[in-house]
Chain A
Amino acid sequence: MKKKRTGFLFYLFITAMLIVILFPFFWQFIASVKPPLELFGDRAFNFIPQHPTFDNYVRVFTERPFAIYLWNSLVVSIFTTLYCILIASFASYAIARLQFKGKTVILGLILAVSMFPQIATIAPIFLFMQEMNLTNSYLGLIIPYTTFALPLSVWNLTSFYRKIPADLEEAAKMDGANIMQTFWRVVFPLAVPGTFTTAILTFIAAWNEFLFALTINTDENMKTVPVGIALFQGQYTIPWGEIAAASVMVTIPLVVMVLIFQRRIIAGITAGAVKE
């Protein structure tokens, strides 16, 4: 790390950057505690609400099925993550450690799939789900979510597996352990931190997905959080107060997660892009 003088200008730059990044969140919070009348007209630009209220937060749960959206998103994201991490762990171990034909081709294929535009797969997937009566079900989202979650998991896990020192594996081999034993007893325990990081990234990707959720689960009781909030309808105007309250509630857990796991997350998102 370089040691440079950290002067006034530097901190000014940092402060300006933080303001640009954080202001929308701050404004969203202010909007969420304003009563409807203060969201429009002259008072729309007030930084301090005159009559702060938590009504918007209450209404999101009492007048809208926000709790159901949260539950749906949670179920879909967790199962997508579990499935992808499980099969991606095997694949990544094989790619990183074992010698077999076609390995590079397979890795290239996985990378190519991660670049597929979702819109190119949606028509057949939608028609298939409709035929199998899987629209408006959890499985109807978990299956298509693997299109982006699986390549992401494999790509990240492979780079983590490559970093694990090979010595212990060699020792296990010498002791006569077979490949699966070596994987479960020696390699996998060492890969737990990387697996965890990958799980966080996969979870976030699944949690934030929009297009599949928008088209496949249209029933009010099966919508996920992003689709639910995006389609909040008011009687006359867009219900900005409620949208803000819902957004704040979705953002807070993500902020907490980012604060706790920032090092891991950064290691994860840079793993695929930066060569050491």
Chain B
Amino acid sequence: MWRTWTQSEKRMGLILILPTLITILVIAIWPVLRSFWISLYDVELNNPAKTEIHHSYGIDMEKFVNIFPLLTKNLDESSAKADPQTKQQLEEIKRKAEQLKAVLDGNPQFSRQYKQVDDILFDGQSVPDDLKIFKLDKAQADKVTGEMKVIRQQLAEMTEAHQLTDNTLAGLSNGLTESLIQPNFVGLKYYEKLLTGGRLWASLTNTMIFTVVSVGLELVLGLMIALVVNRSFRGRGLVRAAVLIPWAIPTVISALMWKFMFDGQNGIMAKFFAQIGLVSDMGLLLTTKWGSMFAVIFADVWKTTPFMSLLLLAGLQMIPESLYEAAAVDGASKVQQFFRITLPQLKSTILVSLLFRTLDAFRVFDLVYVLTGGGPANSTETISIYAYKTMFAQMDFGRGSALSVIVFICVAIISMIFVKLLGSDLISDGQGK
């Protein structure tokens, strides 16, 4: 019986952990690696030719099949009602377009795929992935691009010269050019640009200032509260519950509460700070760089100090009372006791809470997004906000991914420093007990 247990233990252990392991690999590890991959490509969701990663030249068949017949049809129609000179030009362009198609049709595979896609689109169905793109080699691609650009150029000039009644033809030729896909591998270009540009360093500095100041304040205040509250008193349960509330509410809600109270005209805290002389004018809080930074840090300290003090309190309660008694017998003062007993005994708790809080603060997003939006003039823009804006406001996923990889690397460095300080304390699996 014992032997079957130990044998099956190894197998069962792996089976039991498998769902968790797979989930984590698929939804956390893979995306991080993929982020790095995307950051090497010029992926822009608002640029139709760059919505995904392309390794080679090609033609977006869906687009080409949709536009090409429209273009030739439109050329015919326009030349039918045009004056002789324009007519001649349009016919010339049409010849070029047909020549272009003929070049492509020279490859029987192209005409086959063209027909297939045409049928699918005619039936109103979506084009399967393997038919979406027709691959070209660089020489072909260059040739086709060249011809398409000539057509586009001529039509644009004719529109400019009012030879054409509207810009339908120019638009169609533009669409045709966009059906050409180029490989969008850019290598480490984004990293180079980001690291040499100012905005990354500005946002990193903001993030560091926010992290160091708020986590520092939280540690000092949290330790103070923990030391004071570490005793039995009436209403202890109530105080503990109250302390938990800021931690429990969504960051977005606390950010909105503070935004309301820091408002330059109607905010009660802004008025209060102005009255006690902390700021010279209540409007300064959310409209100046340091005012906004102060507001963001203040809101963060308010929300997370209670949490910090709970962690530290739990650590304090683990310190054996006998240590203090012995110290008191030896005549050590309260201050000596604090530095000789409390701090050393609390070291690992402090480091663990600092680790969690530092990482949380470093990736801050919700609070800044809601309270200042990164403003005024990017002065409270943290690195996560910068990455978010690049990806979801500018739709520039390549550059945004490079930024998020940079955030990841920073977080990894911070964790490694802490893990080094903590030693094996963090992941001890309890076997030593």
Binding site for B on A (CB under 8 A): 1-4, 6, 10, 13-14, 17-18, 20-22, 24-25, 27-28, 31, 39-41, 44-45, 87-88, 90-91, 93-96, 98-101, 103-104, 106-113, 115-127, 143-144, 146-147, 150-151, 154, 162, 173-174, 176, 178-180, 204, 207-208, 210-211, 214-215, 225-227, 229-230, 240, 243-244, 247, 250-251, 254-255, 257-259, 262, 265-266, 269-270, 272-276
B130 to A: closest C-beta gap in Å: 15
Considering the chains assembled together, what is the distance between the CA atoms of A109 and B16 in angstroms?
16
B125 to A: closest C-beta gap in Å: 16
- Of B29, B248, B314, B391, chain A has the most CB atoms within 10 Å of the CB of B248
Considering the chains assembled together, what is the distance between the CA atoms of A118 and B261 in angstroms?
29
B42 to A: closest C-beta gap in Å: 14
Considering the chains assembled together, what is the distance between the CA atoms of A17 and B241 in angstroms?
13
A130 to B: closest C-beta gap in Å: 9
B46 at the interface (CB under 8 A from A): no
Stretch at the interface among B56-64, B77-85, B193-201, B401-409: B401-409
Binding site for A on B (CB under 8 A): 1-2, 5-6, 8-10, 12-14, 16-17, 19-21, 23-24, 27-32, 34-35, 38, 225, 228-235, 237, 239-258, 260-261, 265-266, 268, 271, 302, 306-307, 310-311, 314-315, 317-318, 321, 348-349, 352-353, 356, 359, 362-363, 365-366, 369-370, 384, 387-388, 391-392, 397, 400-401, 403-405, 407-408, 411, 415, 425-430
Considering the chains assembled together, what is the distance between the CA atoms of A96 and B427 in angstroms?
12
Point out the residue from A21, A143, A226 that lies within 8 Å of B27, measured CB to CB. A143
Considering the chains assembled together, what is the distance between the CA atoms of A257 and B247 in angstroms?
12
User: Would B268 and A251 count as touching, CB distance under 8 A?
Assistant: no
Query: Which residue of A has the minimal Cβ distance to B244?
Result: A258
Considering the chains assembled together, what is the distance between the CA atoms of A1 and B230 in angstroms?
7
Give the residues in chain A near B230, CB-CB below 8 Å. 1-2
B236 to A: closest C-beta gap in Å: 9
Q: Quick one: given A118-B363, A146-B23, A258-B248, are A275 and B425 in contact (CB under 8 Å)? A: yes
B173 to A: closest C-beta gap in Å: 29
User: Would A44 and B5 count as touching, CB distance under 8 A?
Assistant: no
User: Would A95 and B260 count as touching, CB distance under 8 A?
Assistant: no
Give the residues in chain B near A258, CB-CB below 8 Å. 241, 244-245, 248
Considering the chains assembled together, what is the distance between the CA atoms of A209 and B376 in angstroms?
25
Give the residues in chain A near B260, CB-CB below 8 Å. 27-28, 31, 240, 243-244
A164 to B: closest C-beta gap in Å: 12
Give the residues in chain B near A10, CB-CB below 8 Å. 228, 233
Give the residues in chain A near B21, CB-CB below 8 Å. 91, 106, 109
User: Would B404 and A179 count as touching, CB distance under 8 A?
Assistant: no
Q: List 7 A-B contacts (CB under 8 A).
A: A87-B19, A91-B16, A99-B13, A104-B429, A122-B31, A125-B27, A143-B27
User: Would A120 and B407 count as touching, CB distance under 8 A?
Assistant: yes
Query: Which residue of A has the minimal Cβ distance to B409?
Result: A120
Considering the chains assembled together, what is the distance between the CA atoms of A259 and B349 in angstroms?
25
Considering the chains assembled together, what is the distance between the CA atoms of A209 and B248 in angstroms?
12
Q: Quick one: given A120-B32, A247-B256, are A17 and B365 in contact (CB under 8 Å)? A: no
User: Would B20 and A110 count as touching, CB distance under 8 A?
Assistant: yes
Point out the residue from B10, B248, B249, B404 that lies within 8 Å of A120, measured CB to CB. B404
Considering the chains assembled together, what is the distance between the CA atoms of A178 and B24 in angstroms?
28
Give the residues in chain B near A2, CB-CB below 8 Å. 230-232, 321
Given A103-B13, A269-B310: 12 more A-B contacts, CB < 8 Å: A1-B232, A20-B302, A95-B17, A117-B384, A117-B411, A118-B363, A121-B31, A123-B35, A144-B27, A146-B27, A208-B252, A266-B310
User: Would B13 and A269 count as touching, CB distance under 8 A?
Assistant: no
Count CB-based A-B contacts (< 8 Å).
Answer: 296
Give the residues in chain A near B251, CB-CB below 8 Å. 208, 210, 226
Give the residues in chain B near A259, CB-CB below 8 Å. 241
B396 to A: closest C-beta gap in Å: 10
Q: Quick one: given A40-B265, A270-B314, are A107 and B27 in contact (CB under 8 Å)? A: no
Q: Quick one: given A101-B10, A259-B241, are A93 and B16 in contact (CB under 8 Å)? A: yes
Query: Which residue of B has the minimal Cβ distance to A207?
Result: B250
Considering the chains assembled together, what is the distance between the CA atoms of A3 and B321 in angstroms?
11
Give the residues in chain B near A101, CB-CB below 8 Å. 10
Query: Which residue of B has the minimal Cβ distance to A215?
Result: B392
Q: Quick one: given A2-B230, A208-B251, are A254 and B6 in contact (CB under 8 Å)? A: no
User: Would B370 and A230 count as touching, CB distance under 8 A?
Assistant: yes
User: Would A274 and B315 count as touching, CB distance under 8 A?
Assistant: yes
User: Would A28 and B17 count as touching, CB distance under 8 A?
Assistant: no
B351 to A: closest C-beta gap in Å: 9
Q: Quick one: given A6-B231, A121-B28, are A99 and B6 in contact (CB under 8 Å)? A: yes
User: Would B430 and A96 count as touching, CB distance under 8 A?
Assistant: yes
User: Would A266 and B244 count as touching, CB distance under 8 A?
Assistant: yes
Considering the chains assembled together, what is the distance between the CA atoms of A37 and B15 in angstroms?
63
User: Would B250 and A24 count as touching, CB distance under 8 A?
Assistant: no
User: Would B245 and A179 count as touching, CB distance under 8 A?
Assistant: no
User: Would B243 and A21 count as touching, CB distance under 8 A?
Assistant: yes
Considering the chains assembled together, what is the distance between the CA atoms of A95 and B21 in angstroms?
12
Q: Quick one: given A173-B5, A262-B237, A275-B348, are A94 and B318 in contact (CB under 8 Å)? A: no
Give the residues in chain A near B235, CB-CB below 8 Å. 14
User: Would B240 and A266 count as touching, CB distance under 8 A?
Assistant: yes
Query: Which residue of A has the minimal Cβ distance to B385?
Result: A119
Give the residues in chain A near B254, CB-CB below 8 Å. 24
User: Would A162 and B10 count as touching, CB distance under 8 A?
Assistant: no
Considering the chains assembled together, what is the distance between the CA atoms of A149 and B247 in angstroms?
17
Considering the chains assembled together, what is the distance between the CA atoms of A58 and B207 in angstroms?
40
B23 to A: closest C-beta gap in Å: 6
Q: Quick one: given A100-B13, A103-B13, A115-B411, are A255 and B245 in contact (CB under 8 Å)? A: yes
Give the residues in chain B near A103, CB-CB below 8 Å. 13, 429
Give the residues in chain B near A27, CB-CB below 8 Å. 257, 260-261, 268
